[in-house]
């Protein structure tokens, strides 16, 4: 890849790449059980920013990993993300009828099929990750090395489970109608949103040359700031955006009484917090010089986006 390619070109190429990887990983539309296969494809393909795969590819560049070696981890984190969106939209969770500009999976296929589609996507994610990492791991790689399939699956499991995404969602549901402090709100979103973003960065970087402890810590600091910036920006857009621009119901969190960064800090302070986190993320990349360029551009995109 030519390092001088414009950001938009790099982004578009990686988005097309992951779309192809996901297409191949998913069951064919006519595979029995057909309704389940189609629901899985509906929830994953032809929509979304693919931010988590982009983060994985960009982190791979820090470790000099070619895109092909990052494909499996990029697909795995996106499949987990897609499954979480299906479940988040269910009536027992956020009860949202719109996702990525089209009816939510449970609206299109029914609640039972949507629930199973989310379950199947989660299982598929770990299968893709395990097979992909096993195929690429060198024969001499020690059992606990970052590129090892077991270690990679553990990273994704931790990010998805009770200490990560699922736990954060539980805290979010329990917080409806309550007022959280800024520290409490940030802690919740470091789990609900940030954990999978950190996993995308860690797993992408694990596909290349080994990084020392200092570089690994720098990437973690970047991912912490970028992940929280994403959520703060989402909360701002939930107030300022529309359903057509966001691809999902606007203003729903506030209407449901969920604590957000806008309700906690106010709109202008929330914008300022997102900007501070963008700069924090960029500063964390200083040890990588030009190799961190795409991660830096992603931090900008996360905060300056309009949807």
Instruction: Say yes or no: domain 7-304 is CATH 1.10.940.10.
Output: no
Residue 227's pLDDT is: 96
CA gap 282, 295 in Å, rounded: 8
Residue 141's pLDDT is: 44
Q: From first to last of its 307 residues, what are the pLDDT tens digits of the chain?
A: 444 568 999 999 999 999 999 999 999 999 999 999 999 999 999 888 999 999 999 999 999 999 999 999 999 999 999 999 999 999 999 889 999 889 999 999 999 999 999 999 999 999 999 998 777 664 344 444 445 888 999 999 999 999 999 999 999 999 998 889 999 999 999 999 999 999 999 999 999 999 999 999 999 999 999 999 999 999 999 888 655 555 556 566 677 778 899 999 999 999 999 999 999 999 999 999 899 999 999 999 999 988 7
Residue 137's pLDDT is: 61
Asked whether the beta carbons of 206 and 146 are under 8 A apart, the reply is: yes
CA gap 13, 7 in Å, rounded: 10
Summarised one tens digit per residue, pLDDT across range 188-213 is: 999 999 999 999 999 999 999 999 99
Angle of the 67-89 helix axis to the 165-174 helix axis, nearest 10: 20
CB burial of residue 255 (10 Å; 0-12, 13-18, 19+): exposed
CA distances from 175 to 2, 83, 180, 266, 289 (A): 47, 22, 8, 18, 41
CA gap 25, 22 in Å, rounded: 5
User: Which two structure tokens, joined as six digits, stand for 190?
Assistant: 């470091």
Residue 34's pLDDT is: 97
HSE-CB for 163 with a 13 A CA cutoff: 8
Q: Would you call the peptide bond into 33 cis, given omega within 30 degrees of 0 as the criterion?
A: yes
Per-domain boundaries in the chain: 7-304
Q: What is the 3-state secondary structure (H, E, C) of 165-201?
A: HHHHHHHHHHCCCCCCCHHHHHHHHHHHCHHHHHHHH
């Amino acid at each position: 890849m030519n390092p001088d390619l414009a950001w938009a070109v790099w982004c578009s190429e990686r988005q097309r790449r992951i779309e192809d990887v996901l297409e191949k990983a998913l069951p064919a539309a006519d595979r029995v059980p057909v309704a389940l296969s189609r629901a899985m494809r509906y929830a994953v393909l032809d929509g979304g920013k693919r931010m988590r795969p982009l983060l994985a590819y960009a982190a791979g560049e820090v470790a000099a990993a070619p895109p092909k070696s990052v494909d499996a981890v990029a697909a795995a984190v996106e499949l987990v993300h897609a499954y979480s969106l299906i479940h988040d939209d269910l009536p027992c969770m956020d009860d949202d009828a719109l996702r990525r500009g089209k009816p939510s999976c449970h609206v299109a296929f029914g609640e039972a099929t949507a629930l199973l589609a989310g379950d199947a996507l989660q299982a598929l994610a770990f299968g893709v990750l395990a097979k992909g990492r096993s195929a690429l791991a060198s024969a001499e790689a020690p059992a606990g090395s970052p590129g090892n399939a077991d270690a990679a699956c553990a990273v994704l499991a931790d990010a998805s489970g009770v200490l990560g995404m699922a736990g954060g969602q539980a805290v979010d549901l329990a917080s409806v109608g309550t007022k959280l402090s800024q520290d409490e709100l940030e802690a919740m979103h470091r789990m609900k949103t940030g954990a999978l973003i950190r996993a995308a960065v860690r797993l992408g970087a694990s596909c290349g040359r080994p990084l020392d402890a200092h570089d690994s810590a720098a990437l973690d600091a970047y991912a912490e700031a970028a992940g929280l910036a994403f959520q703060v920006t989402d909360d701002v857009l939930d107030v300022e955006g529309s359903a057509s621009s966001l691809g999902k119901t606007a203003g729903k969190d506030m209407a449901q009484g969920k604590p957000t960064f806008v309700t906690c800090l106010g709109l202008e302070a929330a914008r300022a917090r997102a900007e501070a986190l963008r700069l924090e993320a960029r500063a964390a990349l200083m040890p990588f010089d030009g190799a961190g360029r795409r991660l830096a551009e992603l931090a900008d995109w996360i905060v300056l986006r309009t949807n």
